[in-house]
């Protein structure tokens, strides 16, 4: 069995949020990830340390190597150019224009390596009136419309429980773009530039609500769509033990089963009613779900197909028997900690299974190894470290 991306080398200059997530996806598929960071990241006030701490009880990022390199120094850029000649992908998440000032942009690197796939990930993209605005996940989902659609109709917008723009609109989208560009290179022999905007990613994820507005003038509002709480059969309910259960009986046959198990078959013909009957259904569902515990209701409603699930806490997630069986929560061998618990890979390939090949547990951990591969001897490496070009 061979890793799917075996032989693909990626130079990763993206250290926060979506960058490590993209690197994890591609590294888990077998790509060699070399994370390039400035030699002494504490110069940024230590903030970066929170993204990738050196604490002895922190396992670090799997399937990547780290190298401290000063791209502002001419000799540092020279080392980067040498790496770029051997790389398939360069990935960065600086503000637009920074890599051009550093002279490590796509136009520069494609002259060195015409086959390079160069990916820039930013909040708003490399062009457009917002390109230079700073922001974070919350800002991107605000601009893209997701935040405005999230929450109850009679309350303020609710912040989602994960960084949707960073991880789905950014890191995952970047991984898809990189894989597509690598496939295109197989046909053309040429690399290309991949411009990933986290805001763009969220806009596309909202196609189900945006397209009806553009074509039919149907405007979706918070808590008032089929999938955001408009109907009692696609909703969340509190149970007797103070926990919550999710019900998503969208198809008519699932809805009919739900009504039967809740003792109200007379509701079946009113699934899409928007009058008094719907109000009655909401009241009944809320009162009824409060009569038993969450797990009791899950057992009852799973006796027939009703599309029901417990609203799990993180503690319950990491102990869920299905997720354990699927390898989404697993113990992995670690070079200094014996074993560590990690979230597994969502990508399950029959002939290219996921494995943890290496770990990066501190900044600059693999600098010497990489420099030796480039042909630098110990004396030259020591001199460059003294000059603070590498770390």
**96-108, pLDDT tens digit by residue?**
999 999 999 999 9
CA 224 – CA 207 distance, rounded (Å):
16
Residue 91 lies in a domain: yes
Among candidates 359, 23, 348, 328, which has minimal Cα distance to 167? 23
127 is catalytic: no
| Per-residue three-class SS string for 129-155 | CCCCCCCCHHHHHHHHCHHHHCCCCCC
pLDDT at 190: 97
Residue 173 has pLDDT above 80, yes or no: yes
DSSP helix/strand/coil, 280: helix
Residue showing tokens 């295109």: 184
Where in the sequence is the domain holding 234, given as residue range(s)? 226-238+244-310
CA 323 – CA 304 distance, rounded (Å):
22
CATH number at residue 291: 3.30.1540.10
Domain's final residue, options 292, 310, 328: 310
Q: Classify the C-alpha dihedral 84-88-91-96 as positive or negative.
A: positive
pLDDT at 48: 47
Lowest mean pLDDT among 29-38, 55-64, 169-178, 346-355: 55-64
pLDDT at 15: 77
Residue 213 lies in a domain: no
DSSP helix/strand/coil, 160: coil
**80-100, pLDDT tens digit by residue?**
999 999 999 999 999 999 999
Lowest mean pLDDT among 4-18, 45-59, 207-221, 364-378: 45-59
Beta bridge partners of 67: 36
Residues 84 and 126 in one domain: yes
Residues 171 and 70 in one domain: yes
- Mean pLDDT score, 110-126: 98
Residue 154 has pLDDT above 60, yes or no: yes
More confident residue, 53 or 135: 135
What percentage of residues in the chain have a pLDDT greater than 90?
Answer: 87
More confident residue, 44 or 374: 374
Residues 28 and 153 in one domain: yes
DSSP helix/strand/coil, 103: coil
Residues 96 and 233 in one domain: no
- Mean pLDDT score, 202-223: 96
Residue 254 lies in a domain: yes
154 is catalytic: no
Could you tell me the pLDDT band of residue 46, with boundaries at 50, 70 and 90? very low
Helices (H) and strands (E) in the chain, counts: 18, 13
To the nearest 10 degrees (0 to 180), the angle between helices 173-188 and 198-205 is 100
Catalytic residue among 136, 273, 334, 368: 136
pLDDT at 293: 98
Residue 42 has pLDDT above 80, yes or no: no
CA 147 – CA 40 distance, rounded (Å):
37
Could you tell me the pLDDT band of residue 2, with boundaries at 50, 70 and 90? confident
- Mean pLDDT score, 280-308: 98
Residue 101 lies in a domain: yes
What is the 8-class DSSP label of residue 275?
Answer: S
Residues 132 and 67 in one domain: yes
Catalytic residue among 12, 70, 137, 166: 166
What pTM was computed for the model? 0.93
What is the count of structural domains for the chain?
Answer: 2
Residues 255 and 346 in one domain: no
Residues 108 and 191 in one domain: yes
Could you tell me the pLDDT band of residue 379, with boundaries at 50, 70 and 90? very high
Residues 157 and 258 in one domain: no
**236-281, pLDDT tens digit by residue?**
999 999 999 999 999 999 999 999 999 999 999 999 998 899 999 9
CATH number at residue 79: 3.40.50.10540
Provide the mean pLDDT of the chain: 93
Lowest mean pLDDT among 109-123, 160-174, 335-349: 335-349
pLDDT at 375: 95
């Amino acid at each position: 069995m061979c890793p799917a991306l075996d032989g693909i080398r990626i130079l990763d200059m993206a250290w926060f949020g979506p960058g490590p997530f993209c690197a994890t996806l591609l590294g888990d598929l077998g790509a060699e990830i070399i994370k390039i960071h400035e030699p002494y990241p504490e110069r940024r006030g230590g903030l970066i340390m929170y993204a990738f701490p050196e604490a002895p009880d922190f396992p670090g990022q799997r399937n990547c190597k780290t190298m401290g390199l000063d791209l502002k120094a001419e000799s540092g850029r020279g080392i980067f150019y040498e790496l770029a000649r051997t790389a398939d992908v360069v990935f960065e998440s600086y503000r637009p224009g920074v890599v051009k000032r550093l002279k490590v942009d796509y136009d520069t690197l494609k002259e060195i390596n015409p086959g390079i796939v160069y990916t820039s990930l930013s909040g708003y993209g490399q062009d457009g009136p917002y390109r230079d605005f700073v922001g974070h996940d919350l800002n991107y989902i605000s601009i893209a419309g997701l935040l405005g659609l999230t929450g109850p109709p009679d309350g303020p917008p609710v912040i989602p429980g994960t960084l949707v723009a960073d991880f789905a609109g950014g890191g995952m989208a970047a991984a898809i773009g990189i894989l597509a560009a690598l496939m295109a290179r197989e046909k053309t022999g040429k690399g290309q530039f991949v411009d990933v905007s986290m805001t763009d990613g969220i806009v596309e994820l909202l196609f189900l609500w945006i397209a009806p507005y553009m074509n039919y003038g149907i405007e979706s509002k918070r808590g008032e769509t089929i999938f955001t709480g408009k109907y009692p059969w696609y909703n969340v309910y509190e149970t007797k033990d103070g926990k919550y259960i999710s019900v998503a009986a969208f198809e008519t046959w699932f809805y009919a089963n739900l009504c039967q198990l809740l003792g109200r078959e007379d509701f079946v013909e009113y699934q899409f009613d928007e009058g008094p009957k719907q109000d009655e259904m909401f009241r009944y569902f809320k009162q009824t779900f409060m009569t038993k515990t969450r797990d009791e209701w899950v057992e009852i409603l799973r006796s027939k197909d009703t599309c029901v699930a417990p609203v799990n806490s993180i503690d319950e997630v990491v102990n869920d028997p299905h997720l354990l069986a699927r390898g989404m929560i697993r113990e992995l061998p670690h070079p200094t900690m014996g074993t560590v618990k990690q979230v597994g890979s969502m990508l399950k390939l029959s002939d290219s299974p996921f494995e943890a090949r290496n770990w990066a547990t501190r900044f600059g951990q693999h600098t010497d190894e990489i420099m030796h591969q480039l042909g630098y001897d110990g004396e030259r490496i020591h001199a460059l470290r003294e000059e603070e070009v590498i770390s």
